[in-house]
Structure 1
Amino acid sequence: MESANTPPLAREIADLVSRLAALGEQHGLDVGDALRAVQALEQQGSVTRVASWFVDAPPVLGVDAGKGGWVGALVAQGRCRVLVSPTLAGLVEMAREAAEVAVVAVDIPIGLPDSGRRQADVLARGALPGKASSVFTTLTRAAYQAGTYAEAREANLAATSGGLGAGAQSYGLRERVLDVDGYLRAARRAPAGRRVPVIEVHPELCFARMTGAPLLAGKRTPEGEQARCAALSSVGFPLPRVAAGPGYAADDLLDACAAAWSAARHALGLSESLPPEPEVFSDGIPAAIRV
């Protein structure tokens, strides 16, 4: 079904497909070759239209965690620049010195629950058959504030009615989670002109949306890297040179690029939210994954 956001070219091609099919049925003609040609034109046009997002859309920043802190993919005027910083605040400031960033998309939980599971995590797993394990369970705020993993497990068990433990991988993100949480809390106190919208994304969801299905090849394998580069290229993303850099691996950079793709969609009002209505816990920060 078309929407008000459907580009004129897409509407024209969809109308042409409908009219060709109707003529074929009415006169008993085989219009299969013509339909396939028009649909191929539509696919080519789709890449062109998506590529134009990164020229016409405002600058955006996609962010992923690396061993040395954060790696960012700054997309502005159809080009992608790679940035690195030990803190999210430093990365955003670096990006804003280069461009008027409209949206920051980060692959880290935003909005920490007081108890139980976040709907964002549950829905993201459901949308990634075969890759559900890539979505880590977000721990409670009490667990992330615990100084050791053992204390985090106890805190999460005490804070959840079902007695949920704390996964080591989820707790391993503690430093990054608290960095983002601190940045968002500080941003509330900043002047309105200094605030930049920050959204949560999950790269595997981004890639699944680009290709129509989850990418099952591991992101650290040659096959996985190739598939992710192809997915980004298919939507017209201006890929930088994909390689490891100071404090980040090649897959971290590709995840940051996927995050930037969702940031561009969000800036243009095209992103979707999981859940549709973000949850809000006691921290007052809306919790939802955008894609």
Structure 2
Amino acid sequence: MMSSSLEEVWRSESGGSIKPRTLKRALYFSFRMVSYLGVDWAGGCWAVVKTGNETLVTTEPSILNVWHEHGQDDDVRSILVDIPIGLPEDGVRACDEEASERLKSQGNTVFSIPRKAIVETEQYGDAREMNGGSLGSQSWWLFPRIREVDVFLQEYEDALTKMYESHPEICFRRFVHDIEYAKDTVAGREERLEVLRTDSDLHKEVEAVVDQRKDRVEWHERISKGRLDDVLDAAVLALTAKRIELGRRSESNEYPALPEEDDPGEDEKLGISPEILYPRAL
């Protein structure tokens, strides 16, 4: 039985003029050859997890490499990244505020991203002064990665149609409401790994990486023992994209996202609204 959501995507992308026989063939191959990427910064490289037609756990040195080596492939329908996409000219992002409220005690895992001028400032002292005299170190060290993705998406329009923002902890808690332990603990790692069991191939691949590196990591391994939580984060983003069958940006491509209540605003350079995608409930 063909997926109705996939059929809607093909009809919308073809202007509704695709012939029934062609549609069936397209849906058949799409169903068998569709993949999704989850991407998370792992302190020196980007952790990349792929699920769907192919299951893969790897790393790339830049977001440009992520795109050239994986994202631009025809089988990849969409990419979810744990990095802010879309910066405000003034104020803060509504999606960050709603995400922090939903996570309650874990709300500090959501960085409140200031306006674009502050993110683009090169000196910490200047950025802190512009931000009212306060700027956390984690936010400051994230700024180069935000700028990297922002500039990349300004230059690669095709990538902008595939790449969206999400937040791993929002996704984990949407799949399983009672996440109990912090992600940097053994119990938290096992708890989050269990969430991936809904995708057996993905779970097997990620579990193998975790088991291989949780006790001892060779010096040449790019994903260290301390960055295994980033692999799990990238994995739940890939699983989320797969769950909601996320495709390219278009008016007909509906998906659950924050903010749900407030005006998300718009990034004028990218022409999109800042938003954090999350999976539908089971």
Decide whether the 8 Å contact of 1:123 with 1:275 is kept in 2. Answer: yes
- Aligned to 1:267, the other structure's residue is in SS state coil
- Structure 2 residue aligned with 1:68: 44
Q: What does residue 165 of structure 1 align with?
A: 134
- For residues 60-100 of structure 1, give each alpha carbon's deviation from its aligned partner in whole angstroms, at most 9, with x where no partner exists: 110000122201001132x4201211111111211147652
CA contact (8 A) 1:63 1:70 kept: yes
In the other structure, the counterpart of 1:280 is: 266
- Residues 145-224 of structure 1: pairs in structure 2 closer than 5 A: 145-157=120-132, 165-188=134-157, 196-213=161-178, 215-224=179-188
Structure 1: which amino acid aligns with 2:35? P
Letter in 1 for 2:137: A
The structural deviation recorded for 1:149 is: 1.5
Is residue 69 of structure 2 the alignment partner of residue 94 of structure 1? yes
**C-alpha contact 1:262 1:271 (8 A) present in aligned 2:** no
Asked whether the equivalents of residues 40 and 82 of structure 2 are also in contact (C-alpha less than 8 Å), the reply is yes
CA distance in 1, matches of 2:83, 2:195: 22
User: Does the CA contact (< 8 Å) of 1:128 and 1:205 recur in 2?
Assistant: yes
Residue-by-residue CA offset, 1:122-151 (whole Å, 9 max, x unaligned): 110121122111111112211111112211
On the 8 A contact 2:37/2:80 being kept in 1, the answer is: yes
TM-score, with normalisation over the residues of structure 1? 0.71
Give the counterpart letter for 2:192 in structure 1: R
Tell me the amino acid that sits aligned with residue 250 of structure 1.
Answer: L
User: CA 1:97/1:281 → structure 2, altered by over 3 Å: closer, same or farther?
Assistant: closer
Long gaps (5+) in structure 1: 6-53, 158-163
User: How many Å separate the matches in 1 of 2:277 and 2:193?
Assistant: 21
Q: 2:129 and 2:183 mapped to 1: Cα distance?
A: 32
Deviation at 1:121, TM superposition (A): 0.4
The CA distance in 2 between the partners of 1:131 and 1:242, in whole Å, is 26
Matched, 1:58 2:24: no
Structure-2 residue corresponding to 1:254 = 232
The residue type paired with residue 177 of structure 1 is I
- 1:107–1:203 Cα contact (<8 Å) kept: yes
- The CA deviation at 1:228 is 0.3
Kindly state the Cα deviation for residue 55 of structure 1 after the two structures are TM-superposed.
Answer: 6.8
Which amino acid in the other structure matches residue 257 of structure 2?
S
Alignment of structure 1 residues 34-53 onto 2, 5 Å: none
Which residue number corresponds to residue 276 of structure 2?
289
Alpha-carbon distance, 1:195 to partner: 5.8
